[in-house]
Chains A and B, each alone.
Chain A
Amino acid sequence: MASSNTDFLLSVENLTVSFDGFKAVNDLSFYVDEHEIRVIIGPNGAGKTTVLDLICGRTKATEGSIKFRNREMTTLREHEIVKSGIGRKFQTPSIYSDLTVFENLEISFPRGRSVWGALAFKRDEEVINKVNEVAQMIFLSDQLDRQAELLSHGQKQWLEIGMLLMQDPELLMLDEPVAGMSVGERQQTAELLKRIIKDRSVIVIEHDMQFVAQIADKVTVLHQGKIIAEGSAEKVKNDPKVIEVYLGH
């Protein structure tokens, strides 16, 4: 399928994926600008997570194209997609529980990613400073020597966000970053997200409409693998179709 070059940071065009005939994502097209905060909402099973999976290469698209800075992503392997500047946080906190917080963050530092590079990797000032800086942002400065397994659920979510910050991606994809958090943690996370999204583009999947309205430039509503509405949070909230399938209940 022919796809055009654009000024957008990310352009997803006619994206389809089918699992044994079931189209989890169906002919989807959307565009994300530089420094845009895009929120994807929709009922369960709408294909939200699948869209992120497709962009980061975890799932291979059946049809369509995903271009990041006009470079086709669908043919690249996962680590190559990461290297071109896309970072992704998983829905359940995905951290290395046997390693310390410091080591967790260190692994995401974008250096020494080959076998020999990893063997020769030195923990120098640059790495230590970066880890300290990120730890400060994610409220884990005093936990650096702690084993990650012992962190609370909320802290684990922050740690994974911190690992992405180490990576410093141009496009950050977050899958329900505040799910399962206490009210206090939620508030802190909102602050954290507002700070980290300043100089990059972000795609967020979220259910909390209040949270969405706070951060979103644009909201995309998915339903059964298709976009049913797109626009500002205000506009989407008042869309009758959206109310029917998603917000109504």
Chain B
Amino acid sequence: MFPLFSRAGKASLFPKKDVYSYLILAAILLVVLPLSMDIFRLNLIGKYLTFAFVALGLVLCWGYGGILSLGQGVFFGLGGYAMAMFLKLEASNPENTKIQSTPGIPDFMDWNQITELPFFWQPFHSFTFTIIAILLLPTIFGYIVGVAMFKRRVGGVYFAIITQALSAILTILIIGQQGYTGGVNGITDLRTLHGWDIRTDFAKYVFYFVCVAGLFACLFISQFIRKSKLGRLLVAMRDKEDRVRFSGYDVSNFKIFIFCVAAVFASIGGALFTLQVGFMSPTLVGIVPSIEMVIFCAVGGRLSIIGAVYGTLVVNAAKTSFSESFPELWLFAMGGLFIAVVMAFPNGLAGVYQTYVEPKIDAFLAKKKLKIQPDKSSGTDTEKSLNGGIAHGQ
């Protein structure tokens, strides 16, 4: 599961195997899917991929760091709403809203007898500010939550419950403050970005590729973290927190850091969701979506960065096709899936791949190598069998 480092050799950021996995994923997302799907389906994939940002953050935070957050919807919402507020303001120029009693403010505010744009909406006129807010708001919020919890050594189930409560609170707040947030309907009817219509097929293509590019940026950041000493420290903390603490590390700082990283990833995902789907609503903030995101991560394999992407795609594809035929059964299926994965495949799709598929590929490649270079292969063979032995030992 964890790569082995040879004593003398330094750890490389991208071992060969990882390079192949990234290339395959890139080929699927950038070539295979865009060529084989119409824009409606591709846009759907793009929507799923925005959840993959959250699942990716959970791999780092939960899989590596052992910090289970059931409130990632909060951060998804922060990013999504920030983007939606910017787009909504652009859509609500005086011209478009001249039939309102107060032109120039978002329509839902007008319906709620608000006559002036609230102060916290003002800065969202600026796209630069919006982008900064998408990155900074979740960091600040994650930092506050992290300091409040981890410095007091709140962890495990208690932390999970508190994050869940946070997502419930934010949902209630959004729904309750209808005049400022658009309430239960969310922020809808988003039209243009700097005058460029975001509802066209072309825009959807552009956003899809922007989304994939963003996802790969986050994948690389995750890979860097995983391969750094910080990544190993997270694994160490998950196992023996006290030992890390008494080796001279301030454990809480590392937890805060990784929680903030997961928060920012989720927020970027949220912003891209708004762009591609064209609205943002509290249904993406609450407890159910937050738990769904944990399931995406678990199905993909909570220790696999790339697995998070596949897990998200598979579960969402299943959700879409299943919920079309049996809408009321879907939540039960989801719960069942989660239990099944945790019980039978604790390392998700990635674990299944590593246990059953990878050894066969390795054996195949080793055989090929043997034919080509008969004398050089003995060393790699021992290494491979050692690798395999350890993988089975886990």
Q: Do A and B interact with each other, yes or no?
A: yes
Tell me the smallest distance from the CB of A17 to a CB of chain B, in Å: 18
Cβ-defined contact, B228 with A119, below 8 A: yes
Cβ-defined contact, B228 with A77, below 8 A: no
Cβ-defined contact, B230 with A115, below 8 A: yes
Known A-B contacts A102-B5, A145-B4; the reply to A118 vs B240 at CB < 8 A is: no
Say whether A96 faces chain B, with CB atoms less than 8 Å apart.
Answer: yes
Kindly state the separation between the CA atoms of A150 and B392 in the bound complex, as whole angstroms: 12
Which residue of B has the minimal Cβ distance to A77?
A: B250
Cβ-defined contact, A82 with B246, below 8 A: yes
Kindly state the separation between the CA atoms of A119 and B231 in the bound complex, as whole angstroms: 8
How many B residues are at the interface, by size bracket?
35 or more
Contacts from B to A (Cβ < 8 Å): 1-2, 4-8, 10-11, 224-225, 228-230, 232-233, 235-236, 238-240, 242-251, 253-254, 257, 386, 390, 393-394
Known A-B contacts A115-B257, A118-B233, A145-B4; the reply to A88 vs B11 at CB < 8 A is: no
Contacts from A to B (Cβ < 8 Å): 56, 58, 77-79, 82-83, 87-88, 90, 94-100, 102-104, 106-108, 110, 112-115, 118-121, 123, 128, 131-132, 144-147, 149-150, 160, 163, 167
Known: A58-B246, A132-B7. 8 other contacts (CB 8 A): A90-B243, A95-B243, A97-B239, A99-B232, A102-B5, A119-B225, A145-B7, A147-B393
Tell me the smallest distance from the CB of B24 to a CB of chain A, in Å: 26
Known A-B contacts A96-B235, A98-B2; the reply to A108 vs B247 at CB < 8 A is: yes
Tell me the smallest distance from the CB of B90 to a CB of chain A, in Å: 38
Cβ-defined contact, A118 with B229, below 8 A: yes
Tell me the smallest distance from the CB of B233 to a CB of chain A, in Å: 6
Cβ-defined contact, A118 with B242, below 8 A: no
Tell me the smallest distance from the CB of A87 to a CB of chain B, in Å: 8
Q: What are the residues of chain A within 8 A of B240 when measuring CB–CB?
A: 94-96
Known A-B contacts A98-B235, A145-B386, A147-B393; the reply to A113 vs B242 at CB < 8 A is: no
Secondary structure type dominating chain B contacts: helix
Q: What are the residues of chain B within 8 A of A108 when measuring CB–CB?
A: 247-248
* Contact for A107 among B2, B232, B253, CB less than 8 A: B232
Query: Which 4 pairs between the two chains have the least Cβ-Cβ distance?
Result: A82-B248, A121-B229, A118-B230, A96-B236
Which residue of B has the minimal Cβ distance to A83?
A: B248
Q: What are the residues of chain A within 8 A of B5 when measuring CB–CB?
A: 100, 102-103, 123, 145
Cβ-defined contact, A163 with B393, below 8 A: no
Kindly state the separation between the CA atoms of A109 and B145 in the bound complex, as whole angstroms: 30
Q: What are the residues of chain B within 8 A of A131 when measuring CB–CB?
A: 7
Which residue of A has the minimal Cβ distance to B64?
A: A98
Cβ-defined contact, A128 with B230, below 8 A: no
Tell me the smallest distance from the CB of A86 to a CB of chain B, in Å: 9
* Contact for A145 among B6, B229, B246, B254, CB less than 8 A: B6
Cβ-defined contact, B229 with A90, below 8 A: no
Tell me the smallest distance from the CB of A234 to a CB of chain B, in Å: 33
Kindly state the separation between the CA atoms of A25 and B249 in the bound complex, as whole angstroms: 27
Tell me the smallest distance from the CB of B187 to a CB of chain A, in Å: 35
Kindly state the separation between the CA atoms of A41 and B166 in the bound complex, as whole angstroms: 50
Kindly state the separation between the CA atoms of A121 and B225 in the bound complex, as whole angstroms: 11
Q: What are the residues of chain B within 8 A of A146 when measuring CB–CB?
A: 390
Cβ-defined contact, A107 with B244, below 8 A: yes
Q: What are the residues of chain A within 8 A of B242 when measuring CB–CB?
A: 58, 90, 94
Q: What are the residues of chain B within 8 A of A95 when measuring CB–CB?
A: 240, 243
Cβ-defined contact, A82 with B390, below 8 A: no
Kindly state the separation between the CA atoms of A128 and B383 in the bound complex, as whole angstroms: 20
Cβ-defined contact, A96 with B230, below 8 A: no
21 contacts between A and B (CB under 8 A): A58-B246, A78-B246, A79-B245, A83-B248, A95-B243, A98-B2, A98-B235, A100-B4, A102-B5, A103-B5, A107-B232, A107-B233, A107-B244, A108-B247, A113-B248, A115-B253, A128-B8, A132-B7, A145-B386, A149-B394, A163-B243
Tell me the smallest distance from the CB of A59 to a CB of chain B, in Å: 12
Tell me the smallest distance from the CB of B250 to a CB of chain A, in Å: 5
Which residue of B has the minimal Cβ distance to A101?
A: B7
Q: What are the residues of chain B within 8 A of A107 when measuring CB–CB?
A: 229, 232-233, 236, 244, 247
Cβ-defined contact, A113 with B249, below 8 A: yes
Tell me the smallest distance from the CB of B225 to a CB of chain A, in Å: 7
Q: What are the residues of chain B within 8 A of A102 when measuring CB–CB?
A: 5, 7
Q: What are the residues of chain B within 8 A of A144 when measuring CB–CB?
A: 7
Known A-B contacts A79-B245, A145-B386, A150-B390; the reply to A99 vs B228 at CB < 8 A is: no
Q: What are the residues of chain B within 8 A of A100 when measuring CB–CB?
A: 2, 4-5
Tell me the smallest distance from the CB of A90 to a CB of chain B, in Å: 7
Tell me the smallest distance from the CB of A247 to a CB of chain B, in Å: 31
Most chain B C-beta atoms within 10 Å of own C-beta, residue among A83, A94, A102: A94
Cβ-defined contact, B230 with A119, below 8 A: yes
Which residue of A has the minimal Cβ distance to B257?
A: A115
Kindly state the separation between the CA atoms of A132 and B239 in the bound complex, as whole angstroms: 24
Q: What are the residues of chain A within 8 A of B390 when measuring CB–CB?
A: 146-147, 150
Q: What are the residues of chain A within 8 A of B8 when measuring CB–CB?
A: 128
Kindly state the separation between the CA atoms of A100 and B5 in the bound complex, as whole angstroms: 8
Kindly state the separation between the CA atoms of A236 and B212 in the bound complex, as whole angstroms: 72
Which residue of A has the minimal Cβ distance to B241?
A: A94
Kindly state the separation between the CA atoms of A131 and B11 in the bound complex, as whole angstroms: 15
Kindly state the separation between the CA atoms of A77 and B243 in the bound complex, as whole angstroms: 14
Kindly state the separation between the CA atoms of A188 and B238 in the bound complex, as whole angstroms: 31
Tell me the smallest distance from the CB of A220 to a CB of chain B, in Å: 22
Most chain A C-beta atoms within 10 Å of own C-beta, residue among B8, B246, B257, B394: B246
Known A-B contacts A83-B248, A90-B242, A96-B235; the reply to A150 vs B393 at CB < 8 A is: yes
Tell me the smallest distance from the CB of A94 to a CB of chain B, in Å: 4
